Each structure stands twice: as C-alpha cells, then as structure tokens.
Amino acid sequence: MVELARRRLGDLEVSALGFGCMSLSGTYGAADDDESRSTLAAALDLGVDFFDTADVYGLGHNETLVGEVLRPVRDEVVIATKFGFTAPPGAEAPVIRGDAEYVRSACDASLLRLGIETIDLYYAHRIDPNVPIEETVGAMAELVAAGKVRHLGLSEAAPATIRRAHAVHPIAAIQSEYSLVTRWAEDELLGTLTELGIGFVPFSPLGRGLLTATLEAIPEGDFRRVMPRFSGDNLAANRSLAERFAGVAADLGCTPGQLALAWVLAQGDHMVPIPGTRRADRLAENVGALEVSLTPEVLAAIEELGLSDAVAGKRFPDALEGLAGR
C-alpha cells in the first residue's frame, strides 16, 4: 500500500483523498460487482484508506459490497456510513428519519451488512425536520458509548444545526456537496467548521463528473438524467464551461478532474474530498490530484472563469429538492 498524505477530520486521521462508494451500486448507471471489487482493491493499493458508503446506496447493496472487500484489511481502513433516508411503501420520495429508535436500528443493520463491530464515522445523512437534532445526536452519542461507533458526522446540515449538534457530542466531520460549480458552503458553513475544529468532507467534488469535461450523453439508469444541470440546454451550456476549465488544466499539464480535486484540496487542510468512480483507471487519475501544485496565478485563473456563477441549472429537480439538505 502506498502512503498518501494524511489529513484530520476532528480527531480522526484519514488519507487526504477518500473514496465515495455510491457509484458502485448503480446510481450513475449499471455497475458490475466484480469490477467494483477490483476498483476497491485498487484504492487500497493506491493508499486510499477512507471509504464512504451509506445504507441507502443500492438499498444495502453498497454496504454489503464494501464490507466484503474491506473486512480482510479492517484495521487499515476507515469506514464511514450514513443513515436517515427511508422508503416507506407508496411514498413518492424518500422520507428522512432521525428519531432515536431509528438511529439505533439503522446502526445495527449497517453493522450487520458491513460485517464489522464498529463504524469509524457515522453520519446522519440528512437532518430530520421533525426531530430535534439533540435527540438524533444524543442517540448517536449512545452508539459511541456502546462501542458501535467511533466518530460522529452530519451531512448537508446548516451551521446553526451543526452548533447544536456539536454541543451534544463532538462532531468530527460535515459532509456536503462542494466543488467549483457548487460553492454555497463558502457562505457560512466553512467558517463555522473552522471555528469548531470540524473536518469537511466534500462529496461530488468533480461536479458529478461535469468538471472532468468527459460527459457526452447521459446513459439510461443514470441518476443525472433527472438533474437540471445535465438536461437539455443546461447540459450543452455546462459542457462549454467544462471545456474552458479543461483549457486551464491542459496548460498545467494535468487532467480537468485532477485540477478540480486539487482546487478543493487547496481550500484547507480540513478538506477531504471523496470522489467516486467505478473504474480503477479513473481512481488512479483522481489520486494523482495530490501531486498537482496550484500557484496563486493558477488559482486566480480558475476564479476568473466564474464557474459557480455561470453553471446552468439547480443541483436537484424540484421533486427531489429535499435531497439537497441545508
């Protein structure tokens, strides 16, 4: 295993680049379990030791697959998973639950699927608007006391909610979408995390693939087909943005994806992005971002593109706006 640079999420130390496992369960088109196992093994060989999954990814499939590959090296990896999304029969959209009873049962189910005794980092995937955050985090803290969880996190939580949660039990990490085309976290969230000493785990740091400048038609079964940024005229406009960004990367001698990840990494030592992929070659490319050095001149050139202001379309369609959290 290669030794990668290390970063801290609160008191938890991890590789500076993690691996988001969601795409291994079909979110962005069909996935192959054998290829996924090979990609997870490649991540280990490249020195990645921070793996992010959730009970909702593939409705349990993702945790089962990740657990199968990582159990033999359990002492060498950090496993993060999440709870909160449920799919009641007949519901038009997922329902978020954060009540204490559900927190406990969800944790036990995740441990069983992963086949491990303790989850290293356990997130509330979204905040239940009908349950005080003190109840949710209080139940999570009980899991820490019981030895089922080591560290706590929240995903897509507002700064005021984070402060209340942190007062109940130390929060190690906050996970939210953050990239050159999605920068709302800079408004207040990042300052709050710095103040409280909480790590930040950006998901979709490649803009769900937009910043790689490799997107053509979105295939059947790909979640992005319903997302505004990847539909119709928006997709055409955003491809044009990506091509401009790719020009900066070419001048620097790296790929657009590497430049996008290097930019996120350059925003602070408490940042641990978790790009996902089904392919080992793309994974190796992502890890190469750790070798990309950004000068003030390059950072200025990136800012001049104004990608977050120019990107066309919202993060989620209206019907799925609840997935956006905040």
In sequence order, which ranges of the chain are alpha helices (DSSP H)?
33-45, 61-70, 100-114, 133-145, 159-168, 189-196, 232-252, 256-265, 280-287, 296-305, 307-310
SS3 159: helix
Residue 28 known to be catalytic: no
Measured CA to CA, the distance from residue 132 to residue 129 in angstroms comes to 7
> What phi, psi does 55 have (nearest 5°)?
-65, -25
Contact indicator for 113, 106 with CB cutoff of 8 Å: no
Q: Which of 28, 57, 123, 178 is catalytic?
A: 57
Contact indicator for 176, 325 with CB cutoff of 8 Å: yes
Measured CA to CA, the distance from residue 222 to residue 200 in angstroms comes to 27
Which token pair is 259? 């430049």
SS3 150: strand
If phi over 0 gives left and psi between -120 and 50 gives alpha, with beta otherwise, what is residue 60? left
- In the numeric block, the tokens 């920068």 are attached to 183
DSSP 74-127: GGG-EEEEEE-EE--TT-SS-EE---HHHHHHHHHHHHHHHT-S-EEEEEESS-
SS3 216: coil
Which residues are tagged catalytic?
Answer: 57
